[in-house]
A and B are shown apart, each in its own frame.
Chain A
Amino acid sequence: MSETKLQPLAVAQHETEYRPGRIFVATLKRELQLALRRRSDLVNPLIFFLMVATLFPLGVSPEPTILMTLAPGVVWVAALLSTLLAMDGLFRSDYEDGSLEQILLSPQPLFIVVLGKVIAHWMITGLPLTLMAPLIAVMLFLPAEGMSGLVLSLLIGTPTLSLVGAIGAALTVGLRKGGVLISLLVLPLYIPVLIFGTAAVDAAVTGLPLAGHLALLGALLALGVALAPIAIAAALRISVSG
C-alpha cells in the first residue's frame, strides 16, 4: 500500500480555467442522484399537497360552486406550504455530514453551486407539484379555463418560492430546530408570489388576460435568480462560521 505515488503539487497558479458550467452540472447531477436514493424526500411534499387538497372539501363543503371559488387559493396555498415543508432539508444533511464545509472551502464560485442546489430542489419539489396541480384542481372543480393560468403561474412561481425559501434554510441551517424559524423568515416574502399567482388563476377563470400577472411573477423570478444565490451564499458562510 505504501508504494502509492502522490499527485504532483499544483504550482502556484493565479488563474485557472473558470468553468462555472461544469460545476453547475455536477451539482445538479449530485443533488438529483441524492434525491433518487432518498425517495421519502421526493414523495413527502407531494403527499402533503394531496392531503391538504383532499381535506378541504371535507372541512368546508363538497358544494362545487363553493369549491370552485376556493380552488385557486387552496391549490396555491397547498403548493406553497409543501415547498416550505421541503425547504428545511435543503442544506441540513450537507451541514450535518460536513459536505457543506467542503463546498464552502472549494475554489468554485459558491453562488453557482447554490443555484444548482436550488434548481435541483425545485426539480424534485416544485416541478412535480406543478404537474400534479391540474389533478387537484379538477378535484376542487376549478373550471377548465383556469388550468392554463394555474399551471403557468405555478411553473413561474414555484422556482421563486424555492429560491426565497433557500435563503431562510441557509440562515437557519446552523440551528438545531430551524423549521419554525424558516417559516417566520420566509412567509412574508412568499406573500407577493401567492397574491400574483392566485390572481393569475382567477384571471384565467374569468377569461381576463393573464400576461400581466405572469409578467409580475416572471419579474419576481428574475430578481430571485439574480439576487437570491448571493444572499444564500452569504447566509451559508455566516451559518457555518458560527
Chain B
Amino acid sequence: MADPLLQVVDLFCERDDRVLFEHLSFNVFPGEILQVEGQNGSGKTTLLRILSGLSRHYEGDILWRGTSVTDSADVFRRELLYFGHQAGVKAVLTPEENLAWYAALDSGIDLKQIPKALHAVGLTGFEDVPCHMLSAGQNRRVSLARLYISRAPLWILDEPFTAIDKKGVATKEALLLEHASRGGTVLLTTHHELDLSRHVRRINLDELSGT
C-alpha cells in the first residue's frame, strides 16, 4: 500500500472542559473518501478545522506526507481545499468575481476554467448576478465550483451538501468518486445518506468522546 497522505497521531481535543476526542489516530491514503460521523456537537467540525490548520486547540501530531503540518504549513496549504460551514462567498460580488478571487489566492487555478466550473454547478446564466440575489443553495454552489477548478489533492469538506438539491448532491457524489479515482483524498462530514457508501471509510466520533 502507498504511504499515507495524512497521518493523525494520538489527537486530543477538549472544549469547555468536555473531551471531544482523545487517542484519535488514523491514516488517510490517496484515493480514499473518509466520512467523519457523529451526532451534533460531537466535534466533527472541530476535527476538520484542526486538520485543515484553522484551529490549534489540540494535542497530538498531524503529518502530511510524513512531515508535521505545522512545520510545512505552506506545502500543506497548497495541497488543501477546505470547504467550511460558511461558503466563503462575497454577497456583493458575482460568482465569476468570487471564483477569480479564489484563483488569485491559489495560483494552481487556471482562470480559463471558471466558466466551465460555473456551468458544471449549474450556474450558467448567473455569472454576472451578484451573489446576494442568488438562493442559499446557489451560493453554496458557487463555492462548490472550486472543486472543479482546484488541483489540490486533499479536500476537506464540512457539510458540503447543505441546501443543495438532490440532483446536485448526486453530481457532487460522482465528483468525489472521480477525485478519489485520480488519487485525491476527501474528508467530509454530512448528514446526507451517501449513495457511494461502499467507497467510504467512516470514523465515528461518538465512540471516542470521553467525559
Contacts and interface: CB of A to CB of B under 8 A. Distances in A.
Interface of A: 1-2, 4, 6-10, 12-14, 16-17, 19, 22-23, 26-27, 30, 33-34, 37-38, 93, 96-99, 101-108, 240-241
Interface residues of B, number: 54
A1 B82 contact: no
Nearest to B182: A9
Interface stretch (B6-14, B20-28, B85-93, B190-198): B85-93
Contacts of B77: 105-107
Interface stretch (B36-44, B149-157, B201-209): B149-157
A101 B104 contact: no
B122 A1 contact: yes
A91 to B, nearest CB: 13
B52 to A, nearest CB: 6
Interface in B127-144: 130
A4 B123 CA distance: 14
> Which 6 pairs across A and B sit closest by C-beta, in order of nearness?
A98-B86, A26-B104, A106-B105, A98-B88, A37-B92, A10-B151
Nearest to B79: A10
A23 B104 contact: yes
Contact of B55 (A19, A98, A106, A241): A241
Nearest to A99: B88
Contacts of A26: 101, 104-105
Contact of B78 (A2, A16, A33, A104): A16
Most buried by A among B78, B85, B89: B78
A149 to B, nearest CB: 38
Given A37-B92, A98-B86, A241-B56, A10 B105 contact: no
Contacts of B90: 34, 93, 97, 99
Given A97-B89, A105-B52, A108-B107, 18 more contacts: A1-B122, A4-B117, A4-B119, A4-B120, A6-B178, A7-B150, A8-B151, A19-B107, A22-B107, A26-B101, A33-B97, A37-B92, A37-B93, A38-B92, A102-B102, A105-B80, A106-B106, A241-B56
Nearest to B50: A241
B79 A12 contact: yes
Nearest to A104: B54
A107 B116 contact: no
A23 B182 contact: no
B110 interface: yes
Interface in B69-115: 74-75, 77-80, 82, 84-93, 97, 101-102, 104-108, 110, 113
Given A9-B183, A34-B93, A107-B74, A17 B86 contact: no
19 contacts: A4-B117, A4-B120, A6-B178, A7-B148, A10-B78, A10-B153, A19-B107, A30-B104, A97-B86, A97-B89, A98-B84, A98-B87, A99-B90, A101-B84, A101-B88, A105-B54, A106-B105, A107-B105, A241-B54
Contacts of B174: 2
A16 B116 CA distance: 25
Nearest to B130: A37
A147 to B, nearest CB: 37
B92 A7 contact: no
A33 B93 contact: yes
Contacts of B150: 7
Nearest to A38: B92
A104 B56 CA distance: 13
